[in-house]
Amino acid sequence: MDYTAFSTSARDPSADNLKFARVAAAVYAGVLGLALLLAVWRMPIGLSEVVGVLENVETQPLSELVHGSAEYVRPLFWMTVAAVWRGAPTASGALDAFRVLHVLSVAALLFVFVGACRLRHSADWIAVAVAMPVLIGTSAFRENLESLPLNPTIFACILALAACRLTEAPRRHWHDAAAVLLSVLAVGAKEQGLVVPAIFITAAFLGAPGISRRVAWALLIASACYGAVRLLGADDIPVFMRSLGYGYSELSEAEVYERFGAAPWVAYAYNMGATIGNVLFGEPSRGILMWTRRVTQDPVAPWMIVQALAYLGALVMAGVWAATAVIDRSAARASDRRAAMVFVAALIVCTVLAFNYTRDRMAGPAAAVYALIVFRATSWWLAHYSRAGLFRQACAAAVLLLTASAWQVRAGGTLYYAHDTAWELRKEWLVDLGDRQRRFVGRDRFLTIMSQMRRQGSDASIPATPLPKWATPWVEYRW
């Protein structure tokens, strides 16, 4: 049987089966997404960073905020925060608007992800059921669930997935303009948004039908100019901006300067390697080899096995899929080859931007594209091995089952993380508020904003939700 009958770029011969697949995928995504959104909605806006952000919005001209600093340039973020905070009739109304926008951004990410999957045959609903937990179960996604008060990284993830969808769609006259708009919005929100023009550039030069090479050249030149401007301002950027995870521990900023001050490139290389490792293996996390440390120092717990099965299974599936796409130079696999290279481009961008310090959330756009790769790989595995011999079918089924089960557990861990984070944020308000009131005496606007946010932060309807004892060994959610 010809492979094109099963390709993600071929049409399923049975419209009824395809309709069922799309309905099944929508139901699955809806149930999982609703559970996640309810958990996110319960999260209060945190105390640690948000008060300072809102104080800046009140006390500084918008022009200075949009211009940014040497370390961070995110004009769209500041414009949105300022519009909501200054435009709302009351502080509580603004805080509610921030929460609504944050929940909508998570919902939009899940919606755009399903759309980017482009279901084409009847078994693709299974591929969605494997890939969406990969999206939700990664630490890159989990760490982006806290609103700050808006989360620009989630916005960049949405636009990255939209870019992937646009490049493979049949060409329309508005596609080039949309590519430019998406790129500007993504970079304006956060520098990780540079993933979006990288996706368009890579896809166009590899022959994607939905984008022209003309606009790809324009985006390449614009991105190079942006990078050159940022490099010209590198003298104002500290050699190290944050504490760094290194090996089994976290080094303070002073310790980082003491150890790597003479050779900062060593720390930069480690940070970039840690970012790649986190996307592909879930390790390190924040630069710290947490899983490795626990495996070597503690008895092996079920959650350690879950993490190993999840990441290794996804990597095996994606690796086999990508290797066969590269070896098979047929036109039927051209879309798969482009998708693999688009992910590589997204990962490179996130890796380079994490040179100074690495956090799991910073790789969010690359992790979102990786989940899309897992969808394509799963779809191909289901099609390819359905006509293989019995032994190969059994091996493929075992890999699929173990990988899917492990990622479902990790997705459950993320749901619990969202519930528990709501309690942790409330506890922060209850415990740290008095100390901050004493520390920031004299900063009247800071204290006023903190007082205005206190009610939503200490809401008594946010309870502690401990895991059942039987689930704790399996769902150690702070991976």
What is the enclosing helix (H) or strand (E) of 415?
helix 390-439
Scan for tokens 């050699």, then name that residue. 239
- Whole-prediction pTM: 0.90
Question: Side chain identity at 64, as an amino acid letter?
Answer: E
Compute the distance between CA of residue 391 and CA of residue 396 in angstroms, rounded to an integer: 9
Compute the distance between CA of residue 39 and CA of residue 26 in angstroms, rounded to an integer: 20
- Nearest to 192, CA basis, from 221, 167, 159: 159
The count of other CB atoms within 10 Å of the CB of residue 56 is: 16
- Nearest to 411, CA basis, from 382, 371, 376, 372: 371
No. of helices (H) and no. of strands (E), the chain? 19, 2
Q: What sign results for the dihedral spanned by CA atoms 96, 99, 103, 109?
A: positive
- Nearest to 141, CA basis, from 318, 372, 316, 302: 372
pLDDT, tens digit, for every residue of 393-446? 898 899 999 999 999 999 988 988 888 888 888 888 888 888 888 988 888 889
178: tokens are 């949309």
Q: Under 8 Å CB-to-CB from 439, ≥6 apart: which residues?
A: none
Q: Under 8 Å CB-to-CB from 329, ≥6 apart: which residues?
A: none
- Nearest to 134, CA basis, from 370, 346, 413: 370
pLDDT in 10s for each residue of the chain, 479 residues: 333 333 444 444 456 677 888 888 888 888 998 999 988 888 888 887 888 889 888 888 888 777 766 567 888 998 999 999 988 999 989 999 999 999 999 999 999 999 999 888 888 888 999 999 999 999 999 889 886 788 899 999 999 999 999 999 999 999 999 999 999 999 999 889 999 999 999 999 999 999 999 999 999 999 999 888 887 766 667 788 888 999 998 998 889 998 998 889 999 999 999 999 999 999 999 899 988 888 888 888 888 899 999 999 999 999 999 999 999 888 878 999 999 999 999 999 999 999 988 899 999 999 999 999 999 999 999 888 888 888 888 988 999 999 999 999 999 889 888 888 888 888 888 888 888 889 888 888 899 999 999 988 888 888 777 777 777 778 765 54
